[in-house]
Amino acid sequence: MFQSVLIVLLLYEHRRRHRAEIERRNTLSELAQVNRLATAGELSASIAHEVNQPLTGIVTKANAALRWLAADKPELEKARAALTQIVSAGHRASDIILSVRSMLRKDTQARSPVDINKLIWTVLGLVWIDLRKNEIELDTKLNDRLPSVRGNEVQLQQVILNLISNAIESMHSVEHRMLRVKSELDGSEGVHVSIEDTGTGIVQSNLDSIFKPMFTTKATGMGMGLAICRSVIESHGGRIWISPGIEKGSVFHFSLPAQY
């Protein structure tokens, strides 16, 4: 009798934990979606600018091509060159829109080989206006021989975007502003990414809490951004951590297993 009761209790506890884990994952997914939408709102000026640049180029080149074709002696080579540039600008605008759409859509569990450097450049393109507006110098050292990692591209892009956005925000009140983004092989042949700022840094007493849900030092915000980053990185078999900057500020690191 006792064994039967014990088995029932164990089965009940197993099911309870399983339901709790499913609810936790669903909640985290919804919070990640809210976080992406909030980030997209903050980046709206940058996104509009990035899309507007190729569109402006398309209109300018199209008008020039029309003039060259309408001339008494049509300048076909110049028109052909302008049309080629229009095609390139169209692809650029399409890439930006696809990037933003992928960032905003809800997570899927699909995983595939991911080029981390490509994700970094995509995010830097989205925040370029913020970097210029805040007079932030950018120093990139990306190892172009890195292997791919297997993961969810949308989730990993959001991690990079969160960390870079936090770095930008941390430098609002300082004079020397430098963002350093580096990718390299780590000691175990995995991929290591570091994002360093020269901002105000993290108070020592907060270091153990910085990745915990609902923890924030900001006047506004849910305190879920870094918690989501940790959850994503750990779900990909990696780890994420923080260290002091070389001059001042902070360095956020994450490493992921490589796919060979």
More confident residue, 4 or 245: 245
E strand or H helix that includes residue 178: strand 178-185
Give the mean model confidence (pLDDT) for residues 203-211.
63
Backbone angles phi, psi at 194, to 5 degrees: -130, 140
User: Whole-number mean pLDDT of the chain?
Assistant: 78
The total number of residues written for the chain in this structure: 260
- CA distances to 30, 58, 69, 87, 92 from 66, rounded to whole Å, are 49, 12, 5, 15, 22
pLDDT digit string (tens) for 111-168?
Answer: 789 999 999 998 888 788 888 888 999 999 999 989 999 988 888 888 898 899 889 9
List CB contacts of 159: < 8 A, sequence separation 6 or more.
Answer: 228, 229, 232, 233, 240, 254
pLDDT digit string (tens) for 74-93?
Answer: 888 888 888 888 888 887 77
Q: What's the confidence (pLDDT) of residue 58? A: 86
Q: What's the confidence (pLDDT) of residue 34? A: 55
